[in-house]
A and B are shown apart, each in its own frame.
Chain A
Amino acid sequence: MAGQARTLEIQIGPLDRLEQADAIKELFRDIPGLGAIRDIESPQANTRSFAVETTSTNDDLLDLFAFHVAKEQVLIRDAAVPASGAAADEDEETVLVAGAAEGEAYGFFSEAPGAPRADAPHAAQAPAQAVKVAAAPKASEPKVAMQAQMESTTIRVDVKKVDQLINLVGELVITQAMLAQNSRGLDAGAYQQLLAGLADLDRNTRDLQESVMSIRMIPMSIVFSRFPRMLRDLANKLGKKVELVTLGEATELDKGLVEKITDPLTHLVRNSCDHGIEMPADRLAKGKSEHGTITLSASHQGGSIVIEVRDDGRGLSREKILSKAQERGIEVSEQMSDAEVWQLIFAPGFSTADEVTDVSGRGVGMDVVKRNIAALNGSVEIDSAEGYGMKVSVRLPLTLAIMDGMSVGVSDEVYILPLSSVVESFQVNADDVSTVAQGSQLVKVRDEYMPVIALEKIFQVPRFDPNKSSNIMVVVEADGSRVALLVDELLGQHQVVVKNLESNYRKVPNVSGATILGDGTVALILDTGGLVRRARH
């Protein structure tokens, strides 16, 4: 895969924001061995140009760049050939034609699996003077038409403005709540008009808040809708038969997250199709149906959003990964758990593919996926059974999602529990609580024992009133197991806006975020997943 060092000129654009291209420079900084990059003057105002020295092929570079800019926006040419303006235009045209021819070529090959598919890109690369990769020109036309249609009914607004709007509305709601509180003691007869006005204000602010909140949320179907076509093209190219199933398309996700999750998801789906799903003949030989199935699903789980990419292909091979890791000098042992072994594929440059195809197998990818998702404070988990398929779960926190919360009181403090993880609550009898070794407590609920976590203890809540004590238990469930939280009182249920604690502070153990209560004070939202893990260890 690695050829000799080449000097390239890469032009990126047209871009809405030139800073987008900075991410490309970071790629070169972050990935060892990729090469060197430096800025050079760009001929147009809305494009950026870079001089690059690298040993990677153009396709490799494009795959990497695809995480940050669309492939159509990247123009790679050999720096040895100086391109004056007119000449460059001509080059572009010729290559567009080449691109179309390439597309046809794939269609042709797809009917004959096993044909040397890698030939086409190499042939295209040989004259490598100006390779403008136009991803299927046919595809771009309907897209343009759709975009024009969208533009007439939508406007593009800076997310910052929306956030500011949301904050302001939040303040308005708090002010309204305060007014409502203060007007409660007024004589209804004497202040009839004032009170009627306040009632209207109450309703209007509520409606306003709801509609403002919904601005940022868009359904996952926007992301999922791009996959059927991509997968069909890819399956044709690889000579495989793949069906795509999407679940939970209505799950709403913050707009900012949607934009950032699309590229990693594309990579995962491509991986599943290329590495996971076997050739139809192999599948039949293994007693599976000829069609492989890739399932994309999205769901809310305990305050986070989980997006799963699942395939029923060949799964990960433990032996192969371990031996590859040893080859690469990564320390491994046979005793490693499966989960630890799967984590190895996130190492930069790691690939178990026997042959490198133009789709994947070069080992650049999973590490970038993981890094992109970690940048969103998310995590990636892999589950696999050899011969039966694998599942990659991407768990993302809600940056800005409204959550149904249950507020509980401990001494003078208020904490919020995600309502989705609350199972039940009850008044506890002293007889039901038993203490086991090391002072941890268990409570018996309908013949099931579960660990007790006293919020007072783990949050070191100061007690001012010795007469008050915790005697209510709230059973919460996360990651499939349950614990009972010991609290003083249940205060109520309401929708809360999840605010990030980490933007100005840092991560706090057992806390997933914060919210602002009706009286303007801050309450912490408990991380039930963390609490359950803590209790079960």
Chain B
Amino acid sequence: MSVMGKTAEAVPTGTREYLTFRLDQEEYGIDILKVQEIRGYEPPTRIANAPNFIKGVVNLRGTIVPIVDMRLKFNCAQADYNSFTVVIILNLRNRVVGIVVDSVSDVMELTPESIRSAPDIESAIDNSCILGLGSVGERMLILLDIEKLMSGVDMGLVTANE
């Protein structure tokens, strides 16, 4: 009985794990279940006439995967490619997409109570794609609905009529 009580305490309902990553000075969190793997950055094959934040496509064990640079998408001041640059491979509704970020920090558990709703502010991100702001001690995480963000028409990953 006591054991069961403990497990219930350790995993309160609604707690989800988020992978946190850094873009410039900001920290973002995405649902860990959408993440397939994390890789180092390798130069992709450029695709003509694509928006500048779509770096191109890479070969991921036989699958052609488009690479989106989130730093360019979110208008970060710097977007360098060095040995620390990381690509997060996401698996979204049978679609595989890679996103380039400055660094991956860690995986965090967040309870619904520690997530605040985001204020309406002007930003490069559509407000409906922000799930909320998670606060962990001093840190503030911007929680993204990465699935919605990636399937938006302005991402250029899908054609408008799909």
Q: Which residues of A are at the interface with B, using a C-beta cutoff of 8 A? A: 166-168, 170-171, 413, 458-461, 499-501, 503-511, 514, 516, 520-524
Nearest 4 A-B pairs (CB), nearest first? A167-B62, A459-B48, A522-B45, A505-B66
Q: Is the CB of B61 within 8 A of A505?
A: no
Q: Is the CB of B157 within 8 A of A506?
A: yes
Q: Is the CB of B48 within 8 A of A522?
A: no
A523 cross-chain contacts in B, Cβ below 8 A: 45
B62 cross-chain contacts in A, Cβ below 8 A: 166-168, 170-171, 499, 516
Question: Complex: how many Å from CA A461 to CA B46?
Answer: 9
B64 cross-chain contacts in A, Cβ below 8 A: 499-501, 503-505, 514, 516, 522
B65 at the interface (CB under 8 A from A): yes
The residue in chain B whose Cβ has the minimal distance to the Cβ of A506 is: B159
Question: B residues 54-113 with Cβ under 8 Å of A?
Answer: 56-59, 61-66, 95-97
20 contacts between A and B (CB under 8 A): A167-B62, A168-B61, A171-B61, A413-B46, A460-B49, A461-B48, A499-B64, A501-B64, A503-B95, A504-B65, A504-B96, A504-B97, A505-B57, A508-B48, A514-B45, A514-B57, A514-B64, A520-B59, A521-B45, A522-B59
Q: A504-B96, A522-B45 are in contact. Are A167 and B63 (CB under 8 A)?
A: yes
The residue in chain B whose Cβ has the minimal distance to the Cβ of A455 is: B48
**Shortest CB distance A421–B (Å):** 20
B44 cross-chain contacts in A, Cβ below 8 A: 522
Q: A504-B66, A508-B47, A521-B45 are in contact. Are A167 and B61 (CB under 8 A)?
A: yes
**Shortest CB distance A497–B (Å):** 9
A510 cross-chain contacts in B, Cβ below 8 A: 48
Question: Complex: how many Å from CA A524 to CA B57?
Answer: 10
B158 at the interface (CB under 8 A from A): yes
Question: B residues 39-53 with Cβ under 8 Å of A?
Answer: 44-50
Question: Complex: how many Å from CA A170 to CA B56?
Answer: 21
The residue in chain A whose Cβ has the minimal distance to the Cβ of B159 is: A506
Question: Complex: how many Å from CA A413 to CA B49?
Answer: 15
Number of interface residues of B (CB under 8 A): 25
Question: Complex: how many Å from CA A510 to CA B61?
Answer: 25
User: Assuming A168-B61, A505-B47, A522-B56, what are 5 further A-B pairs, CB within 8 angstroms?
Assistant: A168-B62, A171-B61, A506-B159, A506-B162, A516-B62
Question: Complex: how many Å from CA A506 to CA B97?
Answer: 12
**Shortest CB distance B56–A (Å):** 8
Q: Is the CB of A460 within 8 A of B48?
A: yes
A171 cross-chain contacts in B, Cβ below 8 A: 61-62
Q: Is the CB of A521 within 8 A of B65?
A: no
The residue in chain B whose Cβ has the minimal distance to the Cβ of A505 is: B66
Q: A521-B45, A522-B45, A524-B45 are in contact. Are A507 and B159 (CB under 8 A)?
A: yes
Question: Complex: how many Å from CA A1 to CA B50?
Answer: 51
Greatest chain B CB density within 10 A among A170, A503, A505, A511 is at A505
Question: Complex: how many Å from CA A167 to CA B156?
Answer: 27
B159 cross-chain contacts in A, Cβ below 8 A: 506-507
Question: Complex: how many Å from CA A167 to CA B59?
Answer: 11
Greatest chain A CB density within 10 A among B45, B49, B95, B96 is at B45
Question: Complex: how many Å from CA A141 to CA B159?
Answer: 48
The residue in chain B whose Cβ has the minimal distance to the Cβ of A164 is: B62
**Shortest CB distance A373–B (Å):** 18
A459 cross-chain contacts in B, Cβ below 8 A: 48-49
A505 cross-chain contacts in B, Cβ below 8 A: 47, 57, 64, 66, 157
B48 cross-chain contacts in A, Cβ below 8 A: 458-461, 508, 510
B162 cross-chain contacts in A, Cβ below 8 A: 506
B156 cross-chain contacts in A, Cβ below 8 A: 506
The residue in chain A whose Cβ has the minimal distance to the Cβ of B48 is: A459
**Shortest CB distance A19–B (Å):** 15
The residue in chain B whose Cβ has the minimal distance to the Cβ of A171 is: B61
Question: Complex: how many Å from CA A506 to CA B158?
Answer: 6
A508 cross-chain contacts in B, Cβ below 8 A: 47-50
Greatest chain A CB density within 10 A among B58, B59, B156 is at B59
Question: Complex: how many Å from CA A97 to CA B105?
Answer: 72
Question: Complex: how many Å from CA A167 to CA B62?
Answer: 5
Q: Is the CB of A504 within 8 A of B59?
A: no
Partner of B47, one of A167, A504, A524: A524
A514 cross-chain contacts in B, Cβ below 8 A: 45, 57, 64
Q: Is the CB of B61 within 8 A of A501?
A: no
The residue in chain A whose Cβ has the minimal distance to the Cβ of B45 is: A522
B96 cross-chain contacts in A, Cβ below 8 A: 504
B49 cross-chain contacts in A, Cβ below 8 A: 459-460, 508-509
Question: Complex: how many Å from CA A520 to CA B59?
Answer: 7
B45 cross-chain contacts in A, Cβ below 8 A: 413, 514, 521-524
